[in-house]
Amino acid sequence: MGINIISAAWMSRLARRGILHQGGAILDLGPQALVLCPRHAFEVYAKHHRSPDVLGELLDQIYNADNNSSRPDGAAPFYKIFGYDTYRSTDLQDKRATWQMDLNSPTPLPEKFDAITNFGTAEHVFNVCAVFRLMHDALRVGGLGLHVLPAFGDFNHGFFNIHPTTFFDLAAANRYVVEDYCYVDSMDIRCHIHLMNYQTEMNLDELPITLNDLRQYGTLPRKVIRQFEHVHQTVTGKLPPDSYTLPKDYSFVALRKVSEQPFQLPIQGVWIDNPP
């Protein structure tokens, strides 16, 4: 999927709340590029995390001369802004990857990590369970699994939509701490709207679909559909005509591994039936 301005806003939110590990190592499941995340908009968030002189150098390493598209090696300095000094990546075909492997049947990695990103990757892997198992095994205790995955729409983008219950039941089975969860509806439209008003930082707590909504089996689908219809009927026409606006909702989830127990397969409904 790549890193868009909402992903950048979310990373800034996690950093400012002390959730991210400073000075650690991060693994990208698929080397990421910045998409719908121009330099002028990203700098609004990045300035909170680095001094002006250091930030300028890192932004120069991230962006091409147009200040809109990212350089092929721009992911490492992007994560460095948020405190991750060591960067690795894995992918089957991308030549930039540190390790080339098929995530359907991954081999054990030679390093452990303080964070692993699953930014639009797992939905493209048919053996999706293998992705979550790899993340568990490759994280240090105290490390974060950072997930940005489709929950609704984005048709034929990948094999799967990963529904919200997945993350909470996965956390219940493996004793993860859910550090943060945001349900971002109509993500393309929200990206374009935010870029039109980029000076004002996005408040992810004001999103219309809340954590409490996710527990409601009966009402959640209706609320998602109503919100989808509302946004596309009232907002789409206000965007520039060339705006890229596929219908899609995404989950933004930070899960912290807190024990060395072996990876456990989740059973659906545990989180719903046994709230913390």
- Do the beta carbons of residue 80 and residue 58 sit within 8 Å? yes
The lowest-confidence range among 27-41, 97-111, 173-187, 239-253 is 239-253
Q: Rounded distance, CA 123 to CA 131, Å? A: 10
Tell me what pLDDT residue 178 has.
96
Tell me what pLDDT residue 191 has.
94
DSSP string for residues in 178-215? EEEEEEESSHHHHHHHHHHTTTSPP-GGG-SS-TTGGG
- Do the beta carbons of residue 118 and residue 147 sit within 8 Å? yes
Q: Rounded distance, CA 144 to CA 228, Å? A: 30
pLDDT of 274 over the 70 cut: no
Q: Rounded distance, CA 148 to CA 132, Å? A: 13
- Does the pTM of the predicted model rise above 0.85? yes
**What are 23-56's pLDDT values in tens digits?**
999 999 999 999 999 999 999 999 999 999 999 9
Tell me what pLDDT residue 20 has.
97
* CATH, domain range 5-258: 3.40.50.150
Q: Rounded distance, CA 146 to CA 256, Å? A: 9
Confidence of residue 251 (pLDDT cuts 50, 70, 90): very high
40, burial (CB in 10 Å: exposed 0-12, middle 13-18, buried 19+): exposed
Tell me what pLDDT residue 276 has.
53
